[in-house]
Structure 1
Amino acid sequence: MSEESLILSILSRAAAFGTPLLWASLGEICAERSGVINLGVEGMMILGAFAAFATAYTTGSPWLGVLAAAIVGGIAAFVHAGVTITLRANQYVSGLALTMLGLGLAGLLGRGWEGRPLLHALPDITVPGLAQIPFLGPALFTDQSLLTYMGFCMAIALWFVLTHTRWGIIIRSVGEAPAAVDAQGLPVYMTRYGCVIFGGMLAGVAGSFLSVSYLPAWTTGITGGMGWIALALTIFAAWDALRAIAVALLFGALYHLSFRLQAWIAPELLKLMPYACTIAVLALTAMGKSKRGQGGPAALGRPYIRGQD
């Protein structure tokens, strides 16, 4: 295989592996921009993966499966929003509880579904025109899941909304200075609810990609820790939706290489590579920097209590 063919192959698989990471990190960017951190991404992803597979298997429609995943992810995020925004519980503890609940519930409900093949999976398609772009076209726009292309579009759309629209300004302001936004008569609580729920829906879609497109099947632990990596990607991308595309492709390439290099390096070490890189990214990003200096919202992780901020 020539050097160019090797690079194209890595980019192509990076797009596939990076798709769930991109969807999940976009959801977390949306939530965190409003000031709410949700460590329950892994739990929402795996609940979405199971809901998508069960719905697609039962109805024969993978798109209904994706819709079901988005709904389930949104419901799980709504619980987190209620606990942290209305009841003002610790956001980190609530997110961890959501992850444990999601993993346990998906494992319980998924008994009996393992080993069943999904007859109607999302097909891979080629985008006419874009596939002819030199070098990148054959890698990124040939024989990829429609959810991959939709993820790219979602990233662009979310970036535009957050940076160039009135609603984006409100969302970012709620994450920076909720008291000032409240003083203007704008809805702080509803904005946070909406962002957290929307983020949960995107995490659900991320999980659905694994069970109705990439595999397609259901296995316990199908997400394999991707939700935690998506949390790191949010920080690494500096809460920027466009940067999330490049970061997701980078970590997608690491996932692919962890399989491709098994002939030369011990598989156990390669499996650690994406997670080791995640820890390294978080460590390097945190060294000598505050979340403010990284571009993170000033009020991230802090519940808003009217009259006290």
Structure 2
Amino acid sequence: MSDFFTVSVLIATIASGIRLATPFLLAGLGETIGQRSGVLNLGVEGVMLIGAFAAYYTALESGSAVLGILVALAAGAAMGLVYAFITVVMQAEQGISGIGIFLFGLGFTDLLFQKLVGTPVPITGLGSIDIPLLSDIPWIGEIFFQHSLLVYVAFLLVPAVWFMINRTTFGLNVRAVGETPEAADTLGVSVNLTRTATIVIGNTMAGLAGAALALEVGIFQQNLTAGQGFIAIALVYFGAWRALGVMAGALLFGIVSATVLQWKTLGIVSGAASSLTAMAPAILTIIVLVAVSRRIDAPSALTRPFDRAA
């Protein structure tokens, strides 16, 4: 254990934790926007898988990771339109619909992978971008300023999402339809259009989260996300539907995951203990949900379809 508590290992662990937090953060921010409008999307995991495969296969065929990101964004947006049609237009039950999207994403990406790729083939992902001057700062530079493009994008989206929700007319409409959609409708706000927009935004960000995961790992395999989409949903509750809270939760889960990986690498845990520590993120998710479930107030209209004629 003493090998873990050295400056170099701790710095590497925290830096790795920030990278591992990126998919959680991107998906969690997108889900936050959707839930603030009253829409729960349990299909985040499936959309992440579709975004991951889209980015992976595009990068594999074209050699361009950036093009892979663009295709993942498009795939996420397309899934957003599908989910919006199911839940907003058809007013289907959101929980069941979300699980359906997850199962579709899981099966569809596995089928595409088997038919189009077959055997996992490594790809060249996004390289790190060192921020001039800042990356040269001892300790701080390695932790915060030597990451890939999507890591910077994810953390820059935190203030952007906060500003959008709290300081823009669109954000005011989102909060209104998530709390009292009937009142928002009487004031001329299109509840269904606002919810559709947030669903598309949220799913686009979930697709980007999948791309971040695939391009970071440099490979694709069945169920690559391994529950990260569901953890991202839990982070929305952990963060009380606030961008900063979601970021704090994503960093917590990222650093826990990085610590577990580092312990395995150093041989601190092995065998059965290694399998148990691998369960740490899932166990932490359960503890977090139990701890925060009694102190948070979800958007009043969350999961409740809006019927103007009702």
Q: How would you bin the TM-score normalised by the shorter chain?
A: over 0.9
Provide the rounded CA distance (Å) in 2 between the counterparts of 1:229 and 1:81.
22
1:3-47 Cα shifts (integer Å, max 9, x gaps): 433332221011111011111101100111111000000000000
**1:134–1:173: structure 2 CA closer, same or farther, 3 Å change rule?**
farther
Q: Deviations over 1:60-79 (max 9, x none)?
A: 21111111111111111221
Matched, 1:306 2:308: yes
Aligned pairs (5 A) from 1:22-61: 22-61=25-64
Q: What SS does the aligned partner of 1:110 have?
A: helix
Matches within 5 A, 1:74-93: 74-93=77-96
Matched, 1:159 2:168: no
Look up the match of 1:178.
181
Aligned to 2:120: 115
Whether the aligned pair in 1 keeps the contact of 2:14 and 2:258 (CA below 8 Å) is: no
For the aligned residue pairs, the C-alpha RMSD in angstroms reads 1.5
Aligned 8 A contact 2:126 2:148 in 1 = yes
Cα offset, 1:115, TM superposition: 2.2
TM-score between both structures, scaled by the size of structure 2? 0.92
2:284 corresponding residue in structure 1: 277
The residue type equivalent to 1:123 in the other structure is G
Q: Is the 8 A contact 2:52 2:213 kept in 1?
A: yes
The question of whether the paired residues in 2 share the 8 Å contact of 1:259 and 1:270 is answered with no
Q: Distance in 2 between matches of 1:129 and 1:179?
A: 52
The list of structure 1 runs, each at least 4 consecutive aligned residues, that deviate by more than 4 angstroms after superposition, is 132-135
| Aligned twin of 1:188 | 191
Which residue number corresponds to residue 128 of structure 2? 124
Tell me which of 235, 238, 245 is aligned to 1:236.
Answer: 238
Q: Which residue of structure 1 aligns with residue 219 of structure 2?
A: 217
Indicate conservation of the 8 Å contact 1:130/1:137, yes or no.
yes
Give the TM-score of the pair, scaled to structure 1. 0.93
Q: Which of 133, 138, 144 in structure 2 is aligned with 1:140?
A: 144
3-state SS, counterpart of residue 115 of structure 1: coil
Alpha-carbon distance in 2 for matches of 1:106, 1:231:
21
- What residue identity is the alignment partner of 1:272? M
SS at match of 1:211: helix
Aligned residues: 300
Q: In the alignment, residue 232 of structure 1 is paired with which amino acid?
A: A
Q: CA deviation at 1:154?
A: 1.1
Q: Structure 1: state its 5+ residue gaps.
A: none
CA contact 2:54–2:75 (8 Å) conserved in 1: yes
Q: Give the share of equivalent positions with the same residue, in percent.
A: 37
